[in-house]
Structures are given as structure tokens and as C-alpha cells.
Amino acid sequence: MQQGRHFLQIPGPSPVPDRVLRAMDMPVIDHRSAQFAELGRAVLDGSQKIFQTSGPVVIFPSSGTGAWEAAIVNTLSPGDKVLMVETGHFATLWRQMAGRWGIEVDFLPGDWRRGADPAVIEERLARDTSHALKAVMVVHNETSTGATSRIGEIRAAMDRVGHPALLMVDTISSLGSVEYRHDEWKVDVSVSCSQKGFMLPPGLGFNAISDKARAAAKTNKMPRSYWDWEEMLKPNVNGFFPYTPATNLLYGLREAIAMLLEEGLDKVFARHQRLAAATRAAVNHWGLEVLCQEPKDFSPVLTAVLMPPGHDADQFRKVVLDNFNMSLGSGLSKVAGKVFRIGHLGECNELTLLAALTGVEMGLSVAGIPYRAGGVDAAMKYLEQRPQGNSPAHLKVVGS
């Protein structure tokens, strides 16, 4: 038995804040009552603020995988062609799902060490003069690799060539942690879930949808029932759902949205950027290698770290768990056993991060991994030089 809280430093599910846990600790109420309608409208309206959209947000009792499927079946038809980019494990899984629904996927190959390249997407779309491609589908933050894709630049590339394809974006591990602007970037379907930046347990899936996507849903040929947007949107107008919702998760969602808005989305995004940079400072000092090779694509949500040759990442993770009660993310698919992932998202601050990095550094020593001591000090120095800025104005912040 180990004392204290378990350190959950995987890139989702992220730790659930005490405020959210207390909010969920409520009796289940009648989901046809006026009391529930108030809750329903609060989370539907609040979700729009997080996606930064004036359009509808549909909330399903589901995983992010369910929200993936909802995006596909509401907009595409069997035999449609789409463009996707191999940014990592989760882009590959979304591709496989599309294939099961009879979608023909043009899968742009990638090396799992950077995000989607807007120039490559632009070149491919420019060649599609017949507009056979019905959608461009991109993972915003590839959780398996620690690389983000520049969605605003991808939209600009689509606009430059005048391509009418839908833009569909997986924001499962980025929403609420990384800058994201559904309306401004003219995204047609944004897919997300509850257990990452929303700081909730798993169980809610989200689709933010544009007018263009909703129009496509009225003419596409894909069968659907549970995932049908229109069936959700009709009762949503009054704060209700067509079937029994995850009531207590919605209580938590209302509280999580309040926390994000109280801090301010810009400050939330800046905090994640700062913690990610401090993590990379530690990794670089240790003499290890960050998996993502493109600085413009460094993820604010997690850092994937390559193990030195001859050392197994999963064995290292076991050493850290057994000795220091901390979970690190595993390598997935092509990078299984080759990388470990440090999550720094959701309710994470400077002290939380430094404790996690201390656990990693001690683990490197106990596991006999070659490294240079002092990575935690490097992260501390970075954070001292770039304070969060929320201290009282009359107090001098050390390092400012």
C-alpha cells in the first residue's frame, strides 16, 4: 500500500478535480423535469463556449470513439472518398472506422513525428479537380505521438484551392487544453469527449457541427439511429435528450465548463503551453529525445519520450508505477515499447508537473536508464522565468 494520491500522468483520462467530483455527487433527477432542462441548457450552451462556436453542440452518452462514428454516419455515404493524414495511432483508428462504413480513404502517409502538413493537403486537394473528396479528416492533437496539427492553416489551404470538402477534426485530446476555434477556422464537425481537457470521467462524446455539416446530414445515405444529430437537436432546444442522458456526468460537465471559463480559455491554453515547454526542458536535459520533431507541432497536452536503444519503455513505466505510484502513458502500435508519454493536461499546474517529472527522473535512475541528472531543475528554471502571473500584484514573483 502506497500513501497519498496516485499520480495519473497519462494523456487522458486526466485527473478529475475535486470540484467536479463534488458536483457529480448528486442524486439522479428526473430527466424530463424542469430542473433537468436547466442543467441541459447550461451544458449545451457552455459547450459552445469551449468549442468557440455559435452553432449546435451535440452531446452523446459515449466515448470519443462513438463521437467519431457520429461524425461519419451523419455526413458521409457509402462509397464516398475522404482525405485523412497518418499522424499516429488514433488517426489510423479513425481511418479503420471509416473503412468499415464503406468510406474510401486516401490516407496520406506520415512518420508519426509531426502533425499534418497543410502544404501536402493543399497539393492533394488541388489535384482533386472533380471534387471527389467529400471530407478532410484530421486529428488535432495526436495523443499517441505528442504532435498537433495546425487546423487554421489546413482550413486556409482548403480555401486557397476552393475545395468544397467538409473539414472534420478530432479534438478528443485537445479541446479545453489547446487553442481551438471551431467557427473561426470554419470546421464542419469537431469531435471530442469528456475525459481529457474537460477533466471528467469517460462517458460523454461531443460533435460541434456547422450549417454545412448539418445540410450534408439531410442528404447523405448512411444509416443511423442512436447517432442521429437531428434526433438529438430537436429535444436539445428545450434542454432535453431523446434518451436517458448521463445525468451525473452532465453535473460534472457544468462544473468543468465553469472552471475553464473562470480561468479564461486563453490562460488555460497558455498554462498548457508553459507546462509542455518545461517538460521538454527536462527531457532535453536528461539527454532523451522528444518523439515530435517539428517544434511548431509540439503538443501542449503531452510529451512522448523516446527510450534509448536497448531499453524498454513499458519496463520503465512499471518501475515508476511500482516505486512511485505514478502512471505514465504507454507507447501505442508502431511505437509500443519505444516511448513513454507524460501527460500535462487538465487540472495540472507547476507543482503537479514538477512532482511528475521528479518521479520520471527517479525512475530513470532506479531503472538504470542512461540519463543526465538535473532535468527537474531545468524545468524549474524554465517555470521560474515564466511565472503563471496569477500572484497578487504587490508580491514579487521569483524569477520575474
Cβ distance 149 to 116 under 8 Å?
A: yes
Task: Identify whether 78 is preceded by a cis peptide bond (ω within 30 of 0).
Answer: no
Cβ distance 398 to 385 under 8 Å?
A: no
> CA 181 to CA 175: how far, in whole Å?
10
Cβ distance 77 to 222 under 8 Å?
A: yes
Strand arrangement of the beta sheet that strand 204-209 belongs to: 57-61, 204-209, 189-193, 166-170, 133-139, 81-85, 104-108
- 341 marked ligand binding residue: yes
Q: Minimal CA–CA distance to 183: which of 162, 197, 167?
A: 167
Cell numbers for 225, please give them.
439511429
Backbone angles phi, psi at 134, to 5 degrees: -95, -15
What stretches of 110-185 show up as alpha helix (H) in DSSP?
Answer: 118-127, 151-160
> CA 383 to CA 357: how far, in whole Å?
13
Annotated binding site for substrate: 341
Numbered residues of the known binding site: 341
